[in-house]
Structure 1
């Protein structure tokens, strides 16, 4: 017989029971649907396929290494076992006299089974597999943390009411709904809240400590970093978005040696480094940003004046006491991603000691970036990254069609312009051909030659 202290509750058509189980008991008692049902027809194949790689590489390691480990409730279906709920009355206990509500007498009690029941996971099968994998120790997994077998987890039990087929239909429905309406937290929330991901921690620290990104928290939003959504719009005051800044920080900190150690991987971001490591990483990251801002003074300009597609370079708009309106690639997410990649590559190639850089050396490596014409209406960006609307003449927008290829070609051109890649005559010709094939709308041949000459002369 199995007996559980429980709370009974009801929602919709379901009566369910909230119990706690020891980790060791959970592993022994709760199975996966495919272990219970021999029939593999589509009508019974109701269990979501398990991602074993994710379980072993992420969840098991989280359980083994995080002292703050915590799982929410696992939802299980109970089949058979003649379940019986026996309520416990609280009427006779004087300390509950003030409550005086009858429903409490039907809420707390004992749920018993005769031992012939089967439990299988309705929601939380990856969590269940991780606990099983860790406790069974059949594969190469971390050691079991001390006391983990006796730790407890909340389990929500749904008890069979009808015949098998009706119950299975209800089970499929609730399984589908649990997974359909479960919504992962968005990227901004993860960056703001994550206390294990080093890059999230460092990105937040930039907003608190770095003079360029500093936000005192008194205003509703940061004046420099947009904290909701990745895309930026013309006229907005933000230099960048939280998501873009986070991704740039990963790129900037990923040296070749760290990359070999899977630094920045999803697995790496699940475990918080020591405070000493975080301080060292922040000092390094802060130095990179100091040097980037010193090397490219335009980054300090008023962002509300730096993202205007309608203003061509030859038609810059001037207003008294304001920066001229322009369309600067480094104030758009595409350009900022390219900037971080080029900066990291320059540092990899030119720093005398990658593991112990100083501000003077980093700034010297990056100052070549200020020699690039980042104005989007200038070649090679115009008609490559910034394209004219095919319907509305004179309306320009960031490219969406063949965007990936355009970014790849932009990166190749930047590497050539910055001297990272030294191309021979054939290499330059091939790159020009790739660039030309992506231009929208296609300029006339004379214009193409003039634009490419501008690019070539900047090498």
Structure 2
């Protein structure tokens, strides 16, 4: 049975294309993903990686967005009509005559794309969105396993923008597929935090920046997740984001769902930062320095990873029943946070002085700080901490640092 799609025809380079819409239900039924394109045996390693579907991302991020956000929207899918014999374009002008020649000229790209049935169609760009629609509409993944109980079959009737391309040759389609994926540049972490409206951690992080917030705009680098030696920001928006995750990890917050009482969570996070920048001596010194970029090198907690280690330590304290922030900060002030302090060598700094930015080092530093402010670890926790400390230091006779008083 033939299908008629109202569309606009265009040409870019040597490629003719047709812009239209398909109902989401028809899209998931009729269009296949790139991993099902014939002649896959000839694909390069790079091309095979590009067509590999990431079902974890589909199920945890894109499908929930489609189901839960009524303002859902995404850009056009590019679809290859593989066996395009019989595909026709009928110009609107053949059935439309206007008295105004200007209208006739402007209408010339518009018309109807006629598919006579039996076409095989593949998503050159948008295969993750295609499969996310499948999960959102049916609740089932590629193995027909129910993975989303809250699926919404009404999405079937919604319109999805599609760009059709005729399959002139496998070589040409492979080239288009390769370039689309190769030159696609994902948005930066900072951009995502600034623009996200469905990630509560992103909303909390950016809400902490502003004239009446915890940090002024010139104190936070939102363009990058690192602070160079010449950078005069105090922290990064990525650091604020990750610290929000750390401080709220015992809650039920999801990255894809903003609760109505988000201010309650914001107050928990901002309260910790407000206390630190007013009472934690290294932060006070950094915030009041006119040469913060130079002073930053003197402190472990002048670096984003060091700040995350500090917040991790505070959360460990909270999880062990320490809630008095004034007393906790008083003890944290007694720890030697100097980048030259022996305790942080090998733990957070390489022998050449380069800071370690990995999560393992950060968590070890946090546990050491928590231990020094008198967190009551179990015997097993202390034994593990001592073993990790000795291993990273390369000294099996080493003892844990003394608690502060």
TM-score by length of 1: 0.74
The RMSD of aligned alpha carbons is 3.4
Name 1:174's counterpart in structure 2: 176
Aligned partner of 2:275 among 269, 291, 295: 291
Matched-pair contact (CA < 8 Å) for 1:81–1:116: no
Q: CA deviation digits over 1:201-240, x for unaligned, max 9?
A: 1111111365541x3xxxxxx2211122122234543211
Q: Per the alignment, do residues 14 and 203 of structure 1 end up closer, same or farther by CA in structure 2, a change over 3 Å counting?
A: same
Q: Report the Cα distance in structure 2 between the residues aligned to 1:371 and 1:415, rounded to whole angstroms.
A: 12
2:402 is matched with 456
Cα distance in 2, alignment partners of residues 426 and 56 from structure 1: 39
Q: Report the CA distance between 1:56 and its aligned residue.
A: 2.7
Q: Distance in 2 between matches of 1:140 and 1:387?
A: 44
Displacement of 1:105 in angstroms is 4.7
Call closer, same or farther: CA 1:156–1:430 in 2, change over 3 Å: closer
Could you tell me whether the CA contact under 8 Å between 1:236 and 1:303 is conserved in 2? no
Query: Which of the numbers 346, 364, 376 marks the counterpart of 2:317?
Result: 346
Distance 1:28 1:430, change over 3 A: closer
Instruction: Check the 8 A contact 1:8/1:108 in 2, yes or no.
Output: yes
Counterpart in the other structure of 2:131 = 129
C-alpha distance in 1, partners of 2:43/2:241?
44
Alpha-carbon separation, structure 2, partners of 1:207 and 1:414 = 27
What does residue range 166-205 of structure 1 map to in structure 2 within 5 Å? Answer: 167-205=169-207
Matches of 1:43 and 1:178, distance apart in 2: 15
After TM superposition, the structure 1 = structure 2 runs for residues 329-408 of structure 1, keeping only pairs within 5 Å, are 329-351=300-322, 361-382=324-345, 385-386=348-349, 389=352, 397-399=353-355, 406-407=361-362
SS at match of 1:341: helix
Using the TM superposition, give the Cα deviation of residue 63 of structure 1 relative to its aligned residue in structure 2, in angstroms.
Answer: 1.5
Q: Where do residues 223-302 of structure 1 align in structure 2 (5 Å cutoff)? A: 223-234=218-229, 236-255=231-250, 258=251, 261=252, 263=253, 268-274=254-260, 277-301=261-285, 302=288
1: CA distance, partners of 2:403 / 2:311: 24
Q: Give 1:93's aligned residue.
A: 98
Query: Is the CA contact 1:292–1:363 (under 8 Å) kept in the aligned structure 2?
Result: no
- Encode CA deviations 1:235-291: one digit per residue, 9 max, x unaligned: 543211111121112212223xx2xx4x4xxxx2122222xx111112222222223
Residue-by-residue CA offset, 1:19-38 (whole Å, 9 max, x unaligned):
1111122233222356574x
Map of 1:317 onto structure 2: none
**Cα deviation digits, residues 38-91 of structure 1 (max 9, x gap):** x66345996813223332333222221110111211111112341111212298
In structure 2, distance between residues paired with 1:121 and 1:87:
25
| Distance of 1:278 and 1:457 partners within structure 2 | 36
**How far did 1:307 drift?**
5.0
CA change 1:329–1:306 in 2 (3 A) is farther
Distance in 1, matches of 2:278 and 2:320, equals: 20
- Match in the other structure for 1:66: 69
User: Larger Rg: 1 or 2?
Assistant: 1
What is the CA–CA distance in structure 2 between the aligned matches of 1:40 and 1:145, rounded to whole Å? 33
Q: Aligned to 1:416, which of 361, 371, 374?
A: 371
Q: Is the 8 A contact 2:301 2:307 kept in 1?
A: yes
What is the total number of aligned residue pairs between the two structures? 389
**Once the 2 structures are TM-superposed, how far is the Cα of residue 362 of structure 1 from its aligned partner?**
3.2
Deviates more, 1:245-254 or 1:419-428: 419-428
Structure 1 residues without counterparts, runs of 5 or longer: 162-166, 216-221, 310-324, 353-360, 390-396, 439-447
How far did 1:157 drift? 0.5
Return the TM-score normalized by structure 2.
0.83
Question: For the residues of structure 2 that align with 1:171 and 1:297, how far apart are their CA atoms?
Answer: 61
- 3-state DSSP class of the match of 2:111? strand
Q: Take 1:196 and 1:34, find their aligned partners in 2: how far apart are those partners?
A: 30
Contact preservation (8 Å) 2:31, 2:121: yes
Alignment partner, residue 143 of structure 2 = none
What SS does structure 1 have at the residue aligned with 2:226?
coil
Structure 1 residue 326 displacement after superposition: 7.3
| TM-superposed deviation, 1:426 | 7.9
The answer to whether the Cα contact below 8 Å between 1:6 and 1:19 also exists between their aligned partners in 2 is yes
Residues 168-177 or 76-85, more deviating? 76-85
Check 1:387–1:119 CA distance in 2 against 1; reply closer, same or farther (3 A cut).
closer
